[in-house]
Every structure is written in C-alpha cells, then in structure tokens.
Structure 1
Amino acid sequence: MSTLLKIEFTIPEQVADEAGVFIASKVPHGWEETPAGDGRKFTLYLEDHPLGHEMVKEFQARFPESDVTWSERESEDWAMAWKDFFVPVNCGESFRIYPPWLDDGDSEHTHIVIEPKMAFGTGHHPTTSLCLATIGRLAQAGTIAKGQTFLDLGTGSGILGIGLSKLGLTGIGLDIDPQAVVCAVENLEANGVSGSMSLAVGSIDCVEQDRTFDLVVANILSGPLIEMAGEILPRVRPGGSLVLSGILADKQSDAVAEAYARRGLGEPQRFVEGEWICLVWENLRD
C-alpha cells in the first residue's frame, strides 16, 4: 500500500514569507499554514518521498533556525488529511472557496467548490487569491461582464475559470498537465459550470490563431509569461483586459511588465499579497 510523506516546517515569523516562497517553488499544490508561537508552521503531503526528503535537506540548509519533522501515512487517508485543516478561504470581496464537505452558510460571496487534490491548487495560495480578488474587482467595475469571453492559461484545478463562469462569462481553460485537466473537469461539474468552460491539454499555441478573448488570465510563472508575451498579448481582444500572476513582487514583476511594455502596453496596475504580485492591464487597444 502506498504512503504519503507528511512534512511539517516550523519557522520564525520574520522569515515565514520567504519560506512560503521556497515551498511554492518546490510544491505545486496547497499546504496548511498555522500560527505557532512566535512563528508559523507549514504542513504538506507528498507522494514523492525522495523529493520530499531532498526538500527537507534544502529547507534545513536555507533556514537553519527551522524545526522540521516528517512522518508517513497511508495514501487512502489523503482526503481525511485535508479535512483536518482545509477551511473556506475568502478571495477578495467576491469569492469564497469551499471543499465539498464544508459549507458555513455564507451568502455574501460567490461560492467555488474545490475538491482538494494532491497535485493541484486549492485557492489558498496567494497567487490564486490575488487573481480571484482581481477578477472580482474587474467585475464590480464593469470591466468584465456577463456574456464576455475568457482564456485561463495554466488553469490547474480550474478555480479562476470557474469564478469567471459563475460571473456569466464563457471561455477556455488550458494546462500542459493532463492530470490537472482531469481535476478541472471534476471541479467544473461540482460547480455546475461545465457548459460555460471548455478544457484542453496544451498551451496557448493550441488555440486558433485568430481567436481573441475579452479577458486573458495567466497564473503561471514569470519565465513563461515573459517568453510567451508575443503569443499571449494578441489573444486579448481590443478593449479587453490582461491579468498575469505567479510573479514574485520584488524580483520578477519589473521584468514581466517590461516584456509587455516592449509590445506597446503601458504600466500595469499592481496588486500585492505577501511575496506575490498580480499585474493588470485594462481596456487594451490595438
């Protein structure tokens, strides 16, 4: 029977954000963060035990003041492991993310139901919550509206596309990982938006070259965002908007903004959460 490696890192608060960035660079899925005295504790689960142990060594070398423990648990307990700590999360003023087994009766937000999976996002990571909060702001301002279209590049578990679908938009979600698309299909069905969003395995080059969208959102990494600038920008319809995330605020945002400035865009709006930033251009013109 396969087992999961449970890893717990306890770190002083002054370096907790830096530790979160390190973990995000190594682990593609969600984790738990809880207060621990004057610091913070990170808890995560991995199937890849060699990767996990290597990550522990790197973490201890980079953060010698940390306390690290690990243990094994049966993989069949994965869902129960999530239930130990998965709580609803608000993303801006518009959205609230729930696991399927928990609904606290909140009626002030648009609900997104996400089944936690081992390899894909749950909405707890700042890059996802930043994007959802930004989508909510664009909707409140009337920049995006029911009947418009979207492209969600690097859809993962489908969270952003689900949020847009629940606002009345229709679109496409793309991811280069086939298992991510399988996960996204399940989440679209759970949220009742399968008819509003189609999914495909691939990157932006698998969309018809002349097809454009009212909103393009890409929550991936700074390197691909820079490399694909010449492919992403033409997908934004004149008058449309572009949202880019997965970018470190103090190390990568200027490079990403400059890559798009070279193609005629002005200075983006910048929204920051912790170490991460979301870049937004509205009402783009030819």
Structure 2
Amino acid sequence: MSTLLKIQFTLPEIENAECQVYLSGKVAHGWEEKPLDDDSIFYTMHLEDHSLGTEIIDEIKKRWPEAGCIHEEIEEENWGLAWKEFFVPIVCGDMFEILPPWLMDTKTEGLMHIVIEPKMAFGTGNHPTTALCLELISKLFREGKLDPKMSFFDLGTGSAILAIALAKLGLKGTGVDIDPQSIICALENMENNGVESDITLAVGSADCIDQNLKYDLVVANILSGPLIELSPAVIARLKENSILILSGILNEQAESVAKAYITKGLPAPEIFIDGEWAALLWKNTGATDN
C-alpha cells in the first residue's frame, strides 16, 4: 500500500505570512494550521510526492531551524481520518457553508451548502483567500451582479470550491488547474454537489482551452507572481464589461498586482482585506473608474 509523508513543525505567529507564501507555492492542496497558546502555529501537511516532501523538509529546516520540523510515513488510507480530526463546517460570506460529506447532518438551514471531500487539492474554505473569494461572490450575488445567464472561468480551480459555488448560483463555466490531481478531486466534488453538468474541467493554465472563449466572470485564487505573469492571458478571457476577482495576494502585494492589470487597460480595482491577505475586485472591467 502506498504511503503519505506527514510533515509537522511549529513557528511563531509573526512568521505565518511568510510561511503561507512559501507553502502555497509548494503544497497546492493545502495544509492544516493549529494556533497554540504561546502565539505560535502548528503546521501539518500530507504529501503523496515524497521527493517534494523531502525538499520541503530540508528547506523548512534551513529557513526556520527553530521550527522543530518532524516527519513520518503514514498509510494513505488514513489521509481522510487525518482531515476528519480538525475539519469543521465553515461559513463564508453569510451565504455559503462548506462542509465534508460526513457532517452533512449538521448543516445550517438557510445557507447554500458546498460539499467538499478534503483530499489532495487546495480549497476547503479554511484559507482566507478562499473565504475572501466566496465573500465577494456572495456580495456580487446580493447586489444583483450575478445571474444564471452568466459564464465563469476559474483559474487554479483546485478543489473546484469557487466553481461549485458559482454553479449553485446557476452560472455555468470552466475550471482549469495545472495539477492533474486537483482536477480529479474537483470532479469528485462537482459530482457530490450535483453540478458536474455545469462545469467543464481542463488541466493547464489560462491558455489551455480555446483562445476565443471569453467569460462574464473570471476568478483566479492563485499567487501574486503568477497573477502578474498571467495578466495578459487572464484579461484575454474577459468579455466586455465583465467581472474579475483575483486573490491569493498578500496585503503588501495588492498594489503591484493591481498595477499589472491597470497598465493593461483595466480600471483600478476595489481591494478587500482579510488579515494578511487581499482580494481585488473589478465589478466592471470596462468602467473608467470605480
């Protein structure tokens, strides 16, 4: 039976932002963060790729020698059990509740439920960038900016949590991710939510599908570097006067990401903050101002 590499370490809370940036670039499917009483954070992650895990262990020990990084191999069948130990329902944007299949009997009435099987793909609602995107989607829906006639493009779909939220609001669209494992997890989550006929998936980046396809809403929850690098390809997916949501951005990076899109013809975005993280929103990419 195959095994997973379980990696754990502890850092002071002040190091959390830097650590999140590092891990986001290495561990696409996410990790667990458990706050401790001494203002530190205990990190846990599970990787199928043992060579990548060894690389991460070495880099953590080099970057943060005080982190006390430890690791062990565990049976892959215990992966779900490891998640069950800490996964709880998450409410985002006063509209969506994200929960795993085994907690469906605890769902909150009056909310739209997104069932996510916590596996090897980023996006369970725990991370502030995912929550920010869902909050903005809720905001746009309540403002009447979203309707079932609209199409969406989800760049870096991960678990497909954002695509599923949009599909549950009646929209149809496409999700892409450079990680094939994410696409497998995304398909399972789509089926669990009954929206598999509303979302098309593809492995790749912003340019991996028909270049002529444009969308009413584009959402990309990745990292600031790729968002800047891919800005021409992202903008190419926008219909005239469409909506754009970008996240996966640290506060201090928000202005540089916004500038990359402004210099290519978009107006200045609204900036929304959640702790150390930011999201950019263009309600009308053809507007002359906000």
Fold shared by both chains (TM-score > 0.5): yes
Query: What's 1:45 paired with?
Result: 46
Give the secondary structure class of the aligned counterpart of 1:214.
strand
Query: What's 2:35 paired with?
Result: 35
Q: Does 2:23 match 1:23?
A: yes
TM-score (norm 1): 0.91
Query: What's 2:141 paired with?
Result: 139
Give the secondary structure class of the aligned counterpart of 1:101.
helix
Q: Which amino acid aligns with 1:162?
A: I
Question: What is the correspondence of 1:15-164 to structure 2 with a 5 Å cutoff?
Answer: 15-38=15-38, 39-103=40-104, 104-164=106-166
| Structure 1: distance between partners of 2:186 and 2:174 | 11
String of CA shifts for 1:267-286, please: whole Å, max 9, x gaps: 11111223322111112228
Give the secondary structure class of the aligned counterpart of 1:85.
coil
Query: What's 1:239 paired with?
Result: 241
| Structure 1: distance between partners of 2:190 and 2:171 | 14
Q: Does 2:227 match 1:225?
A: yes
TM-score (norm 2): 0.90
String of CA shifts for 1:207-264, please: whole Å, max 9, x gaps: 43333221111122323322332222232222311111222221x3222211111122
1:10/1:36 contact within 8 Å kept: no
Question: Equivalent pairs: percent with the same residue?
Answer: 53
Shift of 1:139: 1.0
1:151/1:172 contact within 8 Å kept: yes
More off after superposition, 47-56 vs 210-219? 47-56
Query: What's 2:264 paired with?
Result: 263
1:152/1:216 contact within 8 Å kept: yes
Q: Which amino acid aligns with 1:160?
A: L
Compute the RMSD of aligned alpha carbons: 2.0
More off after superposition, 47-56 vs 269-278? 47-56
1:21/1:275 contact within 8 Å kept: no
| Structure 2: distance between partners of 1:55 and 1:24 | 12
| Structure 1: distance between partners of 2:19 and 2:230 | 28
| Structure 2: distance between partners of 1:111 and 1:126 | 18
| Structure 1: distance between partners of 2:4 and 2:98 | 25
String of CA shifts for 1:16-42, please: whole Å, max 9, x gaps: 333333322321112222222212211
String of CA shifts for 1:52-103, please: whole Å, max 9, x gaps: 2332332233234323332221112111111122222222222111111113
Shift of 1:119: 4.0
Unaligned 5+ runs, structure 1: none
| Structure 1: distance between partners of 2:45 and 2:200 | 31
Q: Which amino acid aligns with 1:121?
A: G
| Structure 2: distance between partners of 1:36 and 1:23 | 19
Give the secondary structure class of the aligned counterpart of 2:84.
helix
More off after superposition, 158-167 vs 272-281? 272-281
Shift of 1:151: 1.0
Does the C-alpha gap of structure 1 residues 176 and 54 become closer, same or farther in structure 2, counting only changes over 3 Å?
closer
| Structure 2: distance between partners of 1:182 and 1:4 | 18
Unaligned 5+ runs, structure 2: none
| Structure 1: distance between partners of 2:280 and 2:232 | 17
String of CA shifts for 1:133-181, please: whole Å, max 9, x gaps: 1111111111222321111112122111100001111111122333322
Q: Which amino acid aligns with 2:205?
A: S
Query: What's 1:274 paired with?
Result: 275
More off after superposition, 9-18 vs 83-92? 9-18
| Structure 1: distance between partners of 2:169 and 2:143 | 13
Does the C-alpha gap of structure 1 residues 18 and 229 become closer, same or farther in structure 2, counting only changes over 3 Å?
closer
Shift of 1:106: 0.7
1:9/1:67 contact within 8 Å kept: yes
Does the C-alpha gap of structure 1 residues 2 and 225 become closer, same or farther in structure 2, counting only changes over 3 Å?
same
Give the secondary structure class of the aligned counterpart of 2:164.
helix
2:160/2:190 contact within 8 Å kept: yes
